[in-house]
Amino acid sequence: MQNNILVSIIIPCFNDAKYIEQAVNSALNQTYAYKEIIVVDDGSNIETKAVLQKLRPTITKLITQENQGQSVARNAGISESKGEYILVLDSDDFFEPSFCEKAVLALEDINRKIVACHIVRWVDEKKIDEYHNKGGDLKVLMLSNQATGSVMFRKEDFFKIGGYDESMRKGFEDWEYYIRLLKNGGLLHIIKEPLFNYRMRTDSTTSKANSIKYELLNYIYGKHRDLNIAYFDVFVQHLLSRIEKEEIEKIKNTQRLEFIIGKMMLKPLRWVKSLIR
């Protein structure tokens, strides 16, 4: 194993005083020795800035900028990095100590462009479940995101494709970035161990993105129209499968007791309304 490759751990942070210290500590505690830690303060509040100043002696570099979103913050941190490999870590999440070591080993396979792992999901301070992404090639990734925003990749690949799309400030920017990373071949590799801890928060970028997902999907599908055409049959089958699942779920809901009772209660009201017309 090549154990002298420098890994740059990039941690964008916006108003995350509660969790940023745990994220930084998870980077510091990686068993992989050759690393630097760069935190990008993306226009955080006074409380978060105070925590970042306390952490400053423990990290390699603190970059401060006005709030411009995760894509700009990640690009800024990576542009200032010295490592050959990049590990992006969101400020409210944390890795288990062995992730870096195992991800560097995984990237020895030149065909692997992105390395992620199994995920432990948290709500508040409670572990909820363990989630397994599939990984795979572009055909798989075009249908759905198979990784969180926190993954490892080569810096040379980052510069080849122009980094994260800075116009995407509402979410899904990591998925769009991964699509471009695999556009000319390569794999998203999943380490089959729960080495990443992901916080499910109602105020997170991911939660906000899911509330406007059709707007974001429209942007991604439009930007990569050529890929949708190249994988037309697979893409159509995927959409039809999603519609079918939604229809099945809709039928199930109409057969639930609550729905039937509600329909019976509304029936006389609708009859009265029809008389008034």
Q: pLDDT tens-digit profile of 159-210?
A: 999 999 999 999 999 999 999 999 999 999 999 999 999 999 776 666 677 7
pLDDT of residue 176: 97
pLDDT of residue 65: 97
pLDDT of residue 1: 47
Q: What is the CA radius of gyration of the chain?
A: 22
Say how many C-beta atoms besides its own lie within 10 A of residue 190's C-beta.
Answer: 21
pLDDT of residue 276: 63
Buried b (16+ CB within 10 A) or exposed e, 115-125: bbbebbbbeee
Q: Domain 7-211, CATH 3.90.550.10 — does that match?
A: yes
Q: Where in the chain are the domains? A: 7-211, 235-276
pLDDT of residue 250: 73
pLDDT of residue 20: 98
Separate counts of helices (H) and strands (E) for the chain? 12, 9
Q: Nearest 5 degrees, angle CA 43-CA 47-CA 50?
A: 90
Residue whose C-alpha is closest to residue 141's, from 111, 114, 175, 189? 175
Spans in the chain with pLDDT lower than 50: 1
H or E segment and range at residue 119 = strand 112-123
